[in-house]
Amino acid sequence: MLNTFILSGQTFSIEALDPSLDDEFVKLHAAFLSSSTCRWNPFAAISQAYFSKPGVGGHEHGLFFNNFTILWNHYLRAGQFDAAERIWQMACDLAWHWETSNPGKLIHKGTPYYFWGMTAILRGDMDRGYALMHQALEEDVRESGSPFPDTPALALATMNAQKLEQAAHGWVARKATVADRFLTAYRSSSGKALTFGLLNSKFLQHPPNRHTVYSLSYVLGRLVKLLETPSQVLDSDFAAQLNMDLILRVLQVIESSLKSKHSAGKTFLPLAVYLAQTASLALTQADLCHVNGEAQKDFEQTVRDLLDNSFTLPSGAVPSGLSRDLAVAYACRNYGTHQLAPSATVLKRADEIRQAVFNTLFVTVETLY
């Protein structure tokens, strides 16, 4: 049931929850939308009493927090991201205070975490945004009892652009577009058939665990921002470190994905060998060890030779295609894990290296999922 009210000639509707609380919500909106003094303490006190009422549970908590979205949209449309975030922090403060006063009891905070996280992402604060989105997902998991609840937070994590009823749909679609760009290059170079739809149904909606796919979602979110950054400001040692950090995060997703299918693989080497065998790639354990040995001696030259299809294995063979991509991924995995020094090759050929690493992820999905 909706509570409709008029402010400055405009009609607004919020969820009707309790007569005294409904009245306070109207006063709250009047204060914020007219930039007048907000009487927060009475609103907070009535909110605390509402949370304690018998029968008020997760559904009612969601309706309560939905009532802040009018204010959030007001500030968001004005480009006032600080104020938009502050709305959700104030809303969360109410819940956190009640939880502190009622040990062992919890309020379902998926809604405020989701909208707060979306605001942080829109302003470019990826770490805060994804931390909040992860909290939203954990709230939804706890409330639903399902590790993969059908909620907007999971849709963001799994890049489910088909779930239209979510505030973050535009952001999800941007990440899906970046992923599809890597997939298009993968199909073109390998002759494989993995599309974004298949990646979604085979892996994103049925990952080894939600943490793996959430990490991938975070990486693609950071890549969206990175790829929108002018190249002139990414020609530095720090940019090389930034690129290696993103590459390593994708490699962690690959490692987690392989471990769920090959429990005997405790390190990346046996997992890479397992992938090579199951995907019929022309690489043996000895070949990968040789790649690693050469990379330890001269990482820059080894990766350049692999990318240029001029790296020779002890057998005389030159790895190419997906075999080469796996070799590049393995060389980067060991270098990036143990080195902080920026790599000139990673800086200058970041696009090629990223594609090779994503190709390794895609062939993992296509072969094993």
How high is the mean pLDDT of the chain?
93
Q: Could you give the CA distance from residue 70 to residue 62 in angstroms, rounded to a whole number?
A: 14
- Domain range for 81 is 2-145
Task: Kindly state the DSSP code that residue 202 receives in the 8-state scheme.
Answer: I
Q: Which residues 6+ apart lie within 8 Å of 85 measured at CB?
A: 116, 119, 120, 123
Residue 92 forms part of a structural domain: yes
Residue 217 forms part of a structural domain: no
Per-residue pLDDT, averaged over 166-170, amounts to 77
Nearest Cα neighbor of 108 from 57, 44, 53, 49 is: 57
Q: Is the pLDDT of residue 164 over 70?
A: no
Q: What is the pLDDT of residues 218-229, one digit of tens each?
A: 999 999 999 989
Q: Choose the final residue of a domain: 145, 160, 194.
A: 145
Q: Could you give the CA distance from residue 168 to residue 174 in angstroms, rounded to a whole number?
A: 10
Task: Kindly state the DSSP code that residue 232 receives in the 8-state scheme.
Answer: G
Q: What is the pLDDT, as a whole number, of residue 165?
A: 67
The answer to whether the beta carbons of residues 58 and 143 sit under 8 Å apart is: yes
Q: What is the pLDDT, as a whole number, of residue 160?
A: 77
Per-residue pLDDT, averaged over 292-308, amounts to 97
Residue 212 forms part of a structural domain: no
Tell me which of 251 and 35 has the higher pLDDT.
251
Lowest mean pLDDT, pick from 141-145, 299-303, 338-342, 365-369: 338-342
Residue 236 forms part of a structural domain: yes
Query: pTM of this prediction?
Result: 0.87
What amino acid is encoded at 242 in this protein? L
Q: Is the pLDDT of residue 121 over 80?
A: yes
Residue 190 forms part of a structural domain: no
Same domain, 234 and 327: yes
Same domain, 140 and 230: no
Nearest Cα neighbor of 343 from 239, 251, 268, 248 is: 239
List for the chain the helix, strand, coil content (%; round to 5).
70, 5, 30
Q: Report the domain count for the chain.
A: 2
Residue 344 forms part of a structural domain: yes
Same domain, 126 and 253: no
CATH code assigned at 71: 1.25.40
The answer to whether the beta carbons of residues 255 and 329 sit under 8 Å apart is: no
Same domain, 231 and 110: no
Residue 279 forms part of a structural domain: yes
Nearest Cα neighbor of 363 from 176, 244, 203 is: 203
Same domain, 231 and 364: yes
Q: Which residues 6+ apart lie within 8 Å of 14 measured at CB?
A: 2, 3, 5, 22, 25, 26, 29, 66, 67, 70
Taking every pair of Cα atoms in the chain, the longest distance, rounded to a whole number of angstroms, is 81
Nearest Cα neighbor of 288 from 273, 274, 305 is: 273
Residue 294 forms part of a structural domain: yes
